[in-house]
Structure 1
Amino acid sequence: MFKGFYTAASGMLSQQRKTEMLSNNLANANTPGFKADQPSMRAFPEMLLQRLDQQKIPSENGLNLPRNTVIGSINTGVYMQEAIPAFIQGDLRETELHTDVALVDINIPANKENGAKGTVLFTVQNPNGEVRYTRNGNFTVDGEGFLTTASGLYVLNDRGGRIQLSSDQFTINSKGVLIGENGETARLGIGFAENPQRLIKEGDGLYRTEDGNKLPNAYNANGVQFMLKQGFLERSNVDVAKTMTDMLTAYRAFEANQKVLQAYDRSMEKAVNDIGRIG
């Protein structure tokens, strides 16, 4: 009986976490470069139930031999193992701003291990000097002339250095070469993640590698083809209609598990109050 409580409760928890993930996707439907998370649902391992009893053997001393009687297997519930970002190219939106840049995938090789396509990302630096990666090309120029993200992270060039400009009037060609108003040049740093599912999501559209090492330079990666478009932003790849449908499905599943839990609760109440009184 109590195992049913745990199974229904685990179903409610997993659907709650799925709803929270979908709500986050929906909240970021208009965030440039945002990659929607997808839930990875897993079942807990099945348990084999056995009954322990004894078998009496008629003898002078009355021997009792222990034995196990197999009852059967029971599933111990479900859980949401992780949320995996879907690195699918989002639609482009023209902004006509010099500081907005979009990455456009042309030919990105698939990973040999899982068959999923890799991805290319802008290279940025946080206040601690650590390298992070993003698809959000909503950049700006700060008071010191450094090219930064909207949240204040420094945009790095292909050599890992910060990009300093004389003004926000610059051009970027399709190969990532940036030319400032006074002739200063740089090339935007672009990293290539062969297996993007191994990137760790930090929030605010940022990712980092598992081991802390830098991603390889996408310009030199074998078979990787991409381009940059100035004056454009990559939209979020969240499918709003599908996300709303998935949220309703998760809510219905939560309700179903809740009703099962209430049924178990009523059964336990009868067992305690009615059966216990008869005894």
Structure 2
Amino acid sequence: MLRGFYTATNGMLAQQRRQEVLSNNITNAQTPGFKQDQATLRAFPELLIQRMDSRDIPASQNRSTPTMSEIGAINSGVYVQETIPDFIQGSLRETGMVTDMALIQGETPDEGGMTFFAVQHADGEVSYTRNGNFTVDGAGNLVTNQGYYVLDEANQPINTDQLAFTVTPEGVVQLPDQEIPLAVAYSSNPQDLVKDTDDLYQLGEGGAALEDARTVAGLQFQVQQNHLENSNVDTSQTMTDMMQAYRIFEANQKVVQQYDRSLEKAVTEIGRIG
């Protein structure tokens, strides 16, 4: 009985975690470049049940030998193993802002490969983002909305001196007196990246280092100025998934309540017999 109690409880915890992931997707449905997360559920390892028995041996003396027969396997529930970002390209939206940029993903040499803008995190490390909702700070540097520097090919901040500029489809910032190529990084397996705060990604432990997108053979991409990439969150489907998660949570909750009533009844009746 207690094993079933824990199985139902694990189901509730798994659906609660899934609900949190879906809620975060809905919250960021209007965040440019946001990639929705998908929660993957995994079953705990199955437990094999065997019956211990003994078998009499025909002999002049009474003897028996232990035997063991397989009854079957039971499962102790599921858990959320990990959350995986979905790196499908989002649609584009025109904003008319010269500091807004959208990365358009073309052909890639690797299935599922993805390009990113490179920015300097607060700790000085290089991070990556698909959110091109940039602005210019008081010092004339191109930055994200959180104030992180947008980097050039040499991993240096891009200073526009607060002047009007244009961005070519190749990702080159054109100023009156110079041209500065944006740092566009390519990941052959974006699942190696770890999602951080402020819609940034960092290289996970053991992941392959990102490459300069312009040096990758067979890779096609464009930078579209005055546009932003929308999130790839399907709000209708996400709301449906949230309702489903709630119903499954509710079903497991009723099972837990039933186990609780059964335990209470068993304890009460045993007390009466005593």
TM-score computed with the length of structure 2 as normaliser: 0.93
Instruction: Check conservation: 2:114, 2:188, Cα contact below 8 A.
Output: yes
Instruction: Check conservation: 1:192, 1:218, Cα contact below 8 A.
Output: yes
Amino acid at match of 2:10: S
Q: Separation in 1 of the partners of 2:76 and 2:19?
A: 21
Gaps of 5+ in 2: none
Instruction: Check conservation: 1:140, 1:168, Cα contact below 8 A.
Output: no
Per-residue Cα deviation, 1:15-36 (whole angstroms, up to 9, x for no partner): 0000000000000000011000
Task: Give the aligned partner of residue 248 of structure 1.
Answer: 243
Are 1:160 and 2:158 an aligned pair?
A: no
Q: How many residues were matched structurally?
A: 273
Deviation of 1:153 (Å): 0.7
Q: Separation in 2 of the partners of 1:213 and 1:79?
A: 28
Task: Give the aligned partner of residue 190 of structure 1.
Answer: 184
Among all aligned residue pairs of Structure 1 and Structure 2, give the percentage whose two residues are the same amino acid: 52
Are 1:137 and 2:137 an aligned pair?
A: no
Q: Separation in 1 of the partners of 2:234 and 2:199?
A: 17
Q: Secondary structure at the match of 2:70?
A: strand
Gaps of 5+ in 1: 112-116
Q: Separation in 1 of the partners of 2:244 and 2:110?
A: 31
Deviation of 1:57 (Å): 6.6
Deviation of 1:276 (Å): 4.6
Task: Give the aligned partner of residue 195 of structure 2.
Answer: 201
Task: Give the aligned partner of residue 31 of structure 1.
Answer: 31
Instruction: Check conservation: 1:91, 1:235, Cα contact below 8 A.
Output: yes
1:169-180 equivalences in 2 (<5 Å): 169-180=164-175
Deviation of 1:275 (Å): 4.2
Q: Secondary structure at the match of 1:107?
A: coil
Instruction: Check conservation: 2:187, 2:209, Cα contact below 8 A.
Output: no
Q: Secondary structure at the match of 1:247?
A: helix
Q: Separation in 1 of the partners of 2:34 and 2:226?
A: 18
Task: Give the aligned partner of residue 50 of structure 1.
Answer: 50
Per-residue Cα deviation, 1:83-133 (whole angstroms, up to 9, x for no partner): 10100111111111111000011213443xxxxx11100001112210100
1:62-211 equivalences in 2 (<5 Å): 65-111=65-111, 117-180=112-175, 182-211=176-205
Instruction: Check conservation: 1:165, 1:184, Cα contact below 8 A.
Output: no
Instruction: Check conservation: 1:141, 1:168, Cα contact below 8 A.
Output: no
Q: How much is the aligned-residue C-alpha RMSD, in angstroms?
A: 2.0
Task: Give the aligned partner of residue 230 of structure 1.
Answer: 225
Amino acid at match of 1:102: A
Instruction: Check conservation: 1:133, 1:206, Cα contact below 8 A.
Output: yes
Deviation of 1:277 (Å): 2.5
Deviation of 1:51 (Å): 3.5
Per-residue Cα deviation, 1:39-63 (whole angstroms, up to 9, x for no partner): 1111111110124455677989976
Q: Separation in 2 of the partners of 1:168 and 1:242?
A: 43
Q: Separation in 1 of the partners of 2:70 and 2:268?
A: 32
Per-residue Cα deviation, 1:158-212 (whole angstroms, up to 9, x for no partner): 22221112114111010001112x3232001011111111211112110011247
Amino acid at match of 2:217: N
Q: Separation in 2 of the partners of 1:138 and 1:265?
A: 52
Q: Separation in 1 of the partners of 2:100 and 2:77?
A: 47
Instruction: Check conservation: 1:118, 1:192, Cα contact below 8 A.
Output: yes
TM-score computed with the length of structure 1 as normaliser: 0.91
Task: Give the aligned partner of residue 272 of structure 1.
Answer: 267
Q: Separation in 1 of the partners of 2:16 and 2:196?
A: 21
Structure 1 residues 18, 53: CA separation in 2 closer, same or farther (over 3 Å shift)? same
